[in-house]
C-alpha cells in the first residue's frame, strides 16, 4: 500500500489499516489478526510477487512456524475476496491482483485534465512506483545497460511510430532490462504514466486482465474482463509494459487488439521469446552481446559488451578480480562459448572467484550444472542456466521439441536441406514429414531458440543452435534414446552434401566454392569422426574427400594424416567402387604407414577399369602417373598418362582435364629430361640437351589391408 495511506478501497472491499479491518460492502468481515497481516502485506506490495520467506518474516516476526500457516490464511482471504484476488505463483510466492479505486481528489484531477476519466475512477500512475529499479541502482558505478545503446534508440523510435512493439529474443538475453530502461526514459512522455506487469507470475489467461488492471490502477468490477478493461483504459494515455509474455501469447493476441482499439492513448511494450503476430505489431529482435575476436588485445576486447559485462560482474563478485593481457584470451574464450548471452555470462562471472578462468573454461561442457544465478532476487526460471532452458523448452510444441533435440547432433550452422534430413524421419514414436519439419523450424526461430542466419550471396539461409542450447538439446536427445539414429541421419546428410561439394569443386572458382561450402566444415568434420567410430565407410570417405579440398583451398594445416590413417583402418570394409574411392584419398604428399601409394593407385585404376565411370578412371590414372613418377617408375607414369589422354573427353569440366596437364608437368620435372610448354591440355614436349639421370632406387613400402 502506498506510503501515508491508511485506507484503500478495491471495489466492494476496503482495507482500513488503523482499525485493522477489512470491510465487505461496508460491513466488517470476520478476519483473524494473522490473516489481516497477510492481506496488508500483499496489498502493500500490490503487483509484486511476495515470497513465502518475506511473508513469514513480516507476519510471524521472530517465530518459527510451518509454511502451511500461510496457506491457511491465504485460503481464508480468498473466501472473502474471491479466488482471483490473490494469485499463487509456483515456486515464488503470492501476488495481490485487485485494482484499487482512485481517491476522490485524483478523480477530480483526472476529470479536469481530460473528459471521461472521472467516470472510471482513474489515477495517474507514478512510474517510480510501478517500474522495477534500473540496473544502475543495483550495480553502483556501472552502466545501466552494456552494449544496448543502439537497441534503446531503436526501441524509442519504434514506440514513436507504433503503439505495439514486441521485444523478442532468447531467454536470458536481456529483454526485461532493455524494456525497463526504455520505460524509465519514456515515463514522463505519457500523461498517465507507465505501468509494468510481470506476466511470468500469471499461471493462466484468466488472470491477465486483472493483473493489467491492478498495474494500471483501474477498477474492473463484475462482468467479462476484456470489455471492462478496454472501457477502463479508454481515456488513458499510458505506456504499458507486459514482461515475460511468451507463455500467454495466444491470450494476449486475443486481448490486446481490443485494448488498442478502445484506448487510442495506450502504448504497449511486450517482451517475449516469440512475437504475438498481430497486425500493427513491430518486432524488435534482441541479439546477444557482441563478443571480441580471438587474439584481441585487452584494449580491443574491452570495447565489446560481452567482455565488459563479464569483467563488471566478476569484479562485483570479487573486488580483486581484474583482467590483464595474460588472462584476456581466456575471458574471450569464455564469452564466445557462452554465445554472448548476458544471463550465462553473469552466472559464469559469479563462479570466477571460485574456479578461475582456466578451470571455468575447462568445465563449460558441464555448464548446465555449473552455472547458477548470482542473485536470489532473480525469478526461479533464471536461478540456473538449466531452469532458463527448461522454461523455453516447455513453451515448445511436441514437434518443435523433437526437431530441437535432433538438431543437437549438428556442430555449426546448417542448411534447411540438412536440417530436414536430420530432423525428419518416419519413426513410429515421432514421425515428422518435410512439412512438419518446416513448421517446427519456423516455430523454433520465432521462439528465439534457433538462430536464422543469412546465407552468402548465392547460398540459402542457414540455421544454428547456440552452443548452450545445443548441449541442453543433446541431453534431451539422449533421454529420448534417439542419439544414434540422429547421428546416423546427420552423417548421411553431410555425406550427400560433401559429394555435391566435391562435384562442384570441378566447376566453381575457389573463392565461390569456399563461400558456398566453408560454413559446413565443422559438421563435415564431425560427420567424418562419427562415421569412423561406427565404421561407416561411405560417409567417412565422402566427408574426408571434401575436408581435403577445404584444407587445400584455404592453405591451412590440416588433420590429413589422422584422417588417412582412419581410412586405412576402414579399408577391409570397402569393396568395388567404394574401395577405389578410398584408395584415391592416399594420392598426395602425406605418407601413411602401411600404405604404398603407387600400389594403392594401381588397385584404384584396376577397379575403375572394371567398374568406371570413365572420368573416375581418368583421374585415377592421373594420380597413378604422379605416384609412379615419385617412386621413380617413369615408364609406368608415361603409360598412365597415355591411357588417360586416350580416355579424355572434351565435354568434361576444364578443371578435370587440367588435372592431367598438371600431372604432366610434375612428371616432367621429376624425370628431368623433358618439360612441357604451352598452356591448357594442348602441351608440346621438348627434349633437353642433357641426359636424364638414372632413377633413384626406392624401398618397397608394405602393403595395406585387403577386403574381407
pLDDT tens sequence across 229-242? 999 898 889 999 99
What's the pLDDT tens digit per position in 328-369? 999 999 999 999 999 899 888 888 888 888 888 888 887 777
Q: Confirm whether 290 is domain-assigned.
A: no
Pseudo-torsion of CA 426, 431, 436, 438, nearest 10°? -60
Contact (Cβ atoms closer than 8 angstroms) between residue 298 and residue 179: no
- 341 plus 242 within the same structural domain: no
554 & 530 share domain: yes
**Number of separate domains in the chain:** 5
Q: 441 pLDDT band (50/70/90 cuts)?
A: very high
**Does residue 568 form part of some domain?**
no
Same domain, yes or no: 65 and 169: no
Q: 53-57, 563-567, 595-599: which range is least confident on average?
A: 53-57
pLDDT band with cut points at 50, 70 and 90 for residue 397 = very high
What's the CA gap between 560 and 589, in Å, rounded? 10
CA dihedral 416, 422, 428, 433 (to 10 degrees): 10
Based on the fold, state whether residues 221 and 270 are members of the same structural domain: yes
Q: Please name the residues in contact with 22: beta carbons below 8 A apart, sequence gap of 6 or more.
A: 13, 14, 15, 16, 28, 29, 31, 36, 39, 80
Question: Based on the domain organization, do 258 and 334 belong to the same domain?
Answer: no
Q: What is the tens place of the pLDDT at every residue in 302-337?
A: 999 999 999 998 888 888 888 888 889 999 999 999
Specify if 702 maps to a domain: yes
Same domain, yes or no: 429 and 529: yes
Domain-ending residue, one of 285, 312, 329? 285
Does the residue 291 lie in any domain? no
Q: Lowest mean pLDDT of 194-203, 501-510, 688-697, name the range.
A: 688-697
What is the predicted pLDDT for the residue at 148? 92
**Is residue 292 situated within a structural domain?**
no
Q: 165 and 269, same structural domain?
A: yes
Among 372, 309, 304, 306, CA closest to 337: 306
d(CA 204, CA 594): 68
Supply the mean pLDDT for the chain: 83
- In the prediction, which pLDDT does 166 show? 97
Domain residues for the domain of 90 are 7-96
Last residue of a domain, one of 339, 356, 382: 382
**Whether 114 and 89 share a structural domain:** no
Considering only residues 31 and 700, tell me which one the structure prediction assigns the higher pLDDT. Answer: 31
What is the pLDDT at residue 122?
Answer: 34
- Please report, for residues 60, 69, 91, 196, the alpha-carbon distance to residue 35 in angstroms, rounded to integers and kept in the order given: 11, 10, 21, 28
Q: Between vectors from CA 484 to CA 483 and to CA 486, what angle results, nearest 5°? A: 65
**Residue 104: pLDDT over 50:** no
CATH code of the domain in which 65 resides = 1.10.10.10
d(CA 333, CA 358): 10
Instruction: Report if residue 563 sits inside a domain.
Output: no
* Helix%, strand%, coil% for the chain, nearest 5: 55, 10, 35
And the C-alpha cell for 119? 467516470
H or E segment to which residue 195 belongs: strand 194-198
Q: Are residues 372 and 273 in the same domain?
A: no
Q: Is beta strand 238-243 parallel, antiparallel or unpaired with respect to 266-272?
A: parallel
- How many CB atoms are closer than 10 A to CB 645? 14
Provide the percentage of residues in the chain whose pLDDT is more than 70: 84
The phi, psi pair for 690, rounded to 5°, reads -100, 160
646 and 627 within one domain: yes
Report the candidate in 472, 146, 181 with the shortest Cα–Cα distance to residue 310: 146
Predicted local distance difference test score (pLDDT) of residue 91: 66
Give the span between the Cα atoms of 289 and 305, in whole angstroms: 6
Q: Return the residue matching grid coordinates 510444441.
A: 397
pLDDT at 106: 44
222 domain residue, yes or no: yes
Quote the pLDDT of residue 65: 72
Q: Is 63 exposed, middle or buried (0-12, 13-18, 19+ CB in 10 A)?
A: exposed
Considering the domain architecture, whether residues 635 and 549 belong to the same structural domain is answered as no
Helix (H, G, I), strand (E, B) or coil at 88: strand
Last residue of a domain, one of 498, 527, 558: 558
Q: What is the pLDDT of residues 603-661, one digit of tens each?
A: 999 999 998 899 999 999 999 999 999 988 989 999 999 999 999 999 999 989 898 88
User: 242: domain CATH number?
Assistant: 3.40.50.300
Strand partners, 22: 15
Burial of 375 (0-12, 13-18, 19+ CB in 10 A): exposed
Counted residue by residue, the chain has a size of 708
* pLDDT score for 323: 87
Work out the pLDDT band at 57, boundaries 50, 70, 90.
confident
Nearest alpha carbon to residue 455 among 404, 411, 518? 518
- Asked if 14 and 7 touch (Cβ cutoff 8 Å), the reply is yes
Grid cell for residue 5: 495511506
Buried b vs exposed e over 376-411: b needs ≥16 C-beta within 10 Å? eebbebbbbbbbbbebbbebbeebbbbbbbbbbbbb
Residues contacting residue 77 through CB under 8 Å, at least 6 positions apart: 31, 35, 38, 39, 85, 86
Contact 549, 518 (CB under 8 A): no
Cβ burial of 557 (10 Å; 0-12, 13-18, 19+) is exposed
What is the model's pLDDT at position 675? 52
Does a structural domain hold residue 425? yes
Give the pTM: 0.73
Instruction: Clarify whether residues 405 and 475 are in a common domain.
Output: yes
β-bridge pairing 13-16 and 7-10: antiparallel
pLDDT of residue 523: 95
d(C-alpha 395, C-alpha 472), whole Å: 15
**Span 196-200, average pLDDT:** 89
Amino acid at each position: 500500500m502506498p506510503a501515508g495511506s491508511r485506507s484503500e478501497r478495491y471495489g466492494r472491499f476496503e482495507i482500513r489499516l488503523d482499525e485493522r479491518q477489512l470491510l465487505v460492502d461496508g460491513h466488517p468481515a470476520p478476519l483473524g489478526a494473522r490473516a489481516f497481516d497477510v492481506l496488508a502485506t500483499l496489498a502493500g506490495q500490490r503487483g509484486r510477487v511476495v515470497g513465502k520467506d518475506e511473508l513469514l518474516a513480516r507476519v510471524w516476526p521472530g517465530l518459527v512456524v510451518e509454511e502451511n500457516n500461510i496457506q491457511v490464511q491465504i485460503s481464508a482471504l480468498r473466501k472473502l475476496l474471491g479466488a482471483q484476488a490473490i494469485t499463487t505463483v509456483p515456486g515464488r510466492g503470492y501476488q495481490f491482483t485487485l485494482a484499487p479505486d482512485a481517491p476522490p481528489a485524483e478523480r477530480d484531477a483526472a476529470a479536469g485534465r481530460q473528459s471521461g476519466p472521472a467516470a472510471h475512477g482513474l489515477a495517474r500512475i507514478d512510474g517510480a512506483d510501478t517500474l522495477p529499479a534500473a540496473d544502475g541502482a543495483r550495480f553502483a558505478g556501472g552502466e545501466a545497460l552494456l552494449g544496448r545503446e543502439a537497441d534503446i534508440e531503436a526501441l524509442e523510435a519504434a514506440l514513436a511510430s507504433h503503439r505495439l512493439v514486441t521485444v523478442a529474443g532468447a531467454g536470458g538475453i536481456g529483454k526485461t532490462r532493455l524494456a525497463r530502461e526504455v520505460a524509465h526514459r519514456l515515463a514522463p512522455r505519457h500523461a498517465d504514466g507507465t505501468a509494468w506487469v510481470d506476466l511470468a507470475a500469471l499461471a493462466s489467461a484468466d488472470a491477465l486482465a486483472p493483473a493489467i488492471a491492478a498495474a494500471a490502477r483501474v477498477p474492473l468490477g463484475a462482468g467479462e474482463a476484456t470489455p471492462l478493461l478496454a472501457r477502463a483504459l479508454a481515456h488513458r494515455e499510458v505506456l504499458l509494459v507486459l514482461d515475460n509474455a511468451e507463455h500467454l501469447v495466444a491470450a494476449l493476441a486475443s486481448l490486446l487488439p481490443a485494448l488498442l482499439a478502445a484506448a487510442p492513448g495506450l502504448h504497449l511494450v511486450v517482451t517475449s521469446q516469440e512475437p504475438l503476430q498481430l497486425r500493427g505489431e513491430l518486432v524488435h529482435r534482441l541479439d546477444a552481446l557482441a563478443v571480441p575476436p580471438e587474439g584481441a588485445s585487452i584494449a580491443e576486447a574491452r570495447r565489446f559488451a560481452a567482455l565488459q559485462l563479464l569483467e563488471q560482474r566478476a569484479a562485483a563478485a570479487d573486488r580483486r578480480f581484474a583482467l590483464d593481457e595474460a588472462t584476456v584470451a581466456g575471458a574471450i574464450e569464455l564469452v564466445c562459448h557462452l554465445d554472448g548471452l548476458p544471463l550465462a555470462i553473469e552466472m559464469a562471472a559469479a563462479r570466477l572467484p571460485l574456479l578461475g578462468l582456466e578451470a571455468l573454461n575447462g568445465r563449460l561442457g558441464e555448464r548446465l550444472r555449473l552455472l547458477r544465478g548470482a542473485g536470489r532476487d532473480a525469478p526461479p526460471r533464471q536461478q540456473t542456466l538449466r531452469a532458463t532452458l527448461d522454461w523455453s523448452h516447455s513453451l515448445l510444441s511436441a514437434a518443435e521439441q523433437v526437431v530441437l533435440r535432433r538438431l543437437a547432433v549438428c556442430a555449426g550452422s546448417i542448411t534447411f536441406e540438412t536440417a530436414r534430413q536430420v530432423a525428419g524421419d518416419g519413426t513410429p514414436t515421432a514421425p515428422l514429414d518435410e512439412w512438419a519439419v518446416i513448421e517446427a523450424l519456423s516455430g523454433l526461430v520465432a521462439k528465439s531458440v534457433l538462430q536464422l542466419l543469412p546465407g552468402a550471396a548465392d547460398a540459402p539461409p542457414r540455421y544454428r543452435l547456440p552452443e548452450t542450447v545445443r548441449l541442453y538439446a543433446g541431453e534431451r536427445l539422449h533421454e529420448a534414446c534417439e542419439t544414434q539414429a540422429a547421428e546416423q541421419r546427420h552423417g548421411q546428410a553431410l555425406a550427400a552434401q560433401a559429394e555435391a561439394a566435391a562435384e562442384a569443386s570441378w566447376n566453381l572458382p575457389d573463392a565461390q566454392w569456399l563461400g558456398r561450402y566453408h560454413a559446413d566444415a565443422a559438421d563435415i568434420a564431425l560427420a567424418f569422426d562419427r562415421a569412423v567410430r561406427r565404421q561407416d565407410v561411405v560417409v567417412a570417405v565422402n566427408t574426408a574427400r571434401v575436408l581435403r579440398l577445404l584444407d587445400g583451398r584455404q592453405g591451412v594445416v590440416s588433420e590429413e594424416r589422422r584422417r588417412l590413417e582412419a581410412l586405412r583402418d576402414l579399408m577391409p570394409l570397402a569393396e568395388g567402387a567404394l574401395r577405389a574411392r578410398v584408395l584415391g584419398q592416399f594420392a598426395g604428399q602425406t605418407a601413411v604407414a602401411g600404405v604404398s601409394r603407387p600400389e594403392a593407385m594401381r588397385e584404384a585404376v584396376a577397379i575403375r577399369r572394371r567398374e568406371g565411370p570413365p572420368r573416375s578412371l581418368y583421374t585415377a590414372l592421373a594420380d597413378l602417373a604422379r605416384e609412379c613418377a615419385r617412386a621413380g617408375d617413369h615408364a609406368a607414369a608415361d603409360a598412365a598418362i597415355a591411357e588417360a589422354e586416350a580416355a579424355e573427353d572434351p565435354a568434361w569440366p576444364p578443371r578435370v582435364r587440367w588435372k592431367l596437364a598438371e600431372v604432366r608437368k610434375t612428371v616432367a620435372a621429376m624425370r628431368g629430361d623433358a618439360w612441357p610448354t604451352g598452356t591448357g591440355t594442348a602441351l608440346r614436349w621438348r627434349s633437353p640437351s642433357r641426359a636424364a639421370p638414372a632413377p633413384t632406387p626406392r624401398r618397397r613400402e608394405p602393403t595395406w589391408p585387403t577386403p574381407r
